[in-house]
Amino acid sequence: MDRLREDEPGLPADFTLARDPWQLFSVWMGEAEAAEPNDPNAMQLATADEHGLPDVRTVLLKGADEGGLVFYTNLGSTKGEQLARNPQAAVVFHWKSLGRQIRARGPVRPVTPDEADAYFASRRRESRLGAIASLQSRPLADRPTLIAAVDELSERYGDGPIPRPETWSGFRLAPVQMEFWQNGEFRLHDRVRFTRDGGGWTSARLYP
């Protein structure tokens, strides 16, 4: 993901005065990548089932720009099926060592086949085989069954190309709201919420 430097014009020292949430997101993500030892791109993804019952799990952010936040999954997984029925979601990034959090929510749409193909091809061979072998979210008798499926696929494809299965793709969440939170002493935290307003954004500082 492209990064904007913190000292570039337009980003004030007090982040609650920022006017562009994507510039602020880029800076905070860059600082998280430099500080967090494991998976700084981890985010909690919340969806809802057909009864409105919420579901949440951790996924990895694989792309971010003004078009939205991109993640990938098996379309037959619980989250894939929930997003097909109700294409709206919310995410939260939490970086404990930095005392920061970002929340975002909005509609979700599938990435293009070309985007999914390109990302799938960039993954390690073992990860591609695992993505094909796993019937994600479905009951599994035991681990040897999964390993055997991966071994069979490895023999089938050999050193040749491994095509992306139609059941594996990605989604892009296009935020209508983004909130940035920073830890403060005595729980006097700093918060700013950006809300989509036509082609731009409005912002409001919030009580902690």
What is the average per-residue pLDDT within 161-186? 95
Residues 6+ apart with CB under 8 A from 96: none
- Site of tokens 């997984």: 77
Q: Confirm whether 195 is domain-assigned.
A: yes
Q: Confirm whether 148 is domain-assigned.
A: no
**pLDDT tens digit string along 76-107?**
999 999 999 999 999 999 999 999 999 999 99
- Closest by CA position to 118, among listed 63, 76, 64: 63
Q: Confirm whether 117 is domain-assigned.
A: yes
- Residues forming the active site: 187
Q: Confirm whether 197 is domain-assigned.
A: yes
Q: Is 75 annotated as a binding residue?
A: no
The proportion of the chain whose per-residue pLDDT surpasses 70, expressed as a percent, equals 95
What whole-number distance in Å separates Cα of residue 132 and Cα of residue 167?
8
Instruction: Note the pLDDT of residue 42.
Output: 98
Tokens of 151: 């071994």
Domain count, the chain: 1
Instruction: Note the pLDDT of residue 128.
Output: 94
The proportion of the chain whose per-residue pLDDT surpasses 90, expressed as a percent, equals 85
Instruction: Note the pLDDT of residue 9.
Output: 52
What whole-number distance in Å separates Cα of residue 99 and Cα of residue 94?
8
Q: Is 72 annotated as a binding residue?
A: yes
- CATH number for 69: 2.30.110.10
Domain that holds residue 85: 15-123+166-206
What whole-number distance in Å separates Cα of residue 190 and Cα of residue 142?
47
CB atoms closer than 10 angstroms to residue 162: 19
Q: Is 57 annotated as a binding residue?
A: yes
Confidence of residue 7 (pLDDT cuts 50, 70, 90): very low
Check pLDDT > 90 for residue 186.
no
Instruction: Note the pLDDT of residue 37.
Output: 86
- Are 173 and 108 contacting, i.e. CB atoms less than 8 angstroms apart? yes
Q: Confirm whether 113 is domain-assigned.
A: yes
- Site of tokens 């989604």: 171
Q: Rounded to two decimals, what is the model's pTM?
A: 0.89
Q: Confirm whether 105 is domain-assigned.
A: yes
Q: Confirm whether 90 is domain-assigned.
A: yes
Q: What is the CA radius of gyration of the chain?
A: 19
Q: Confirm whether 130 is domain-assigned.
A: no
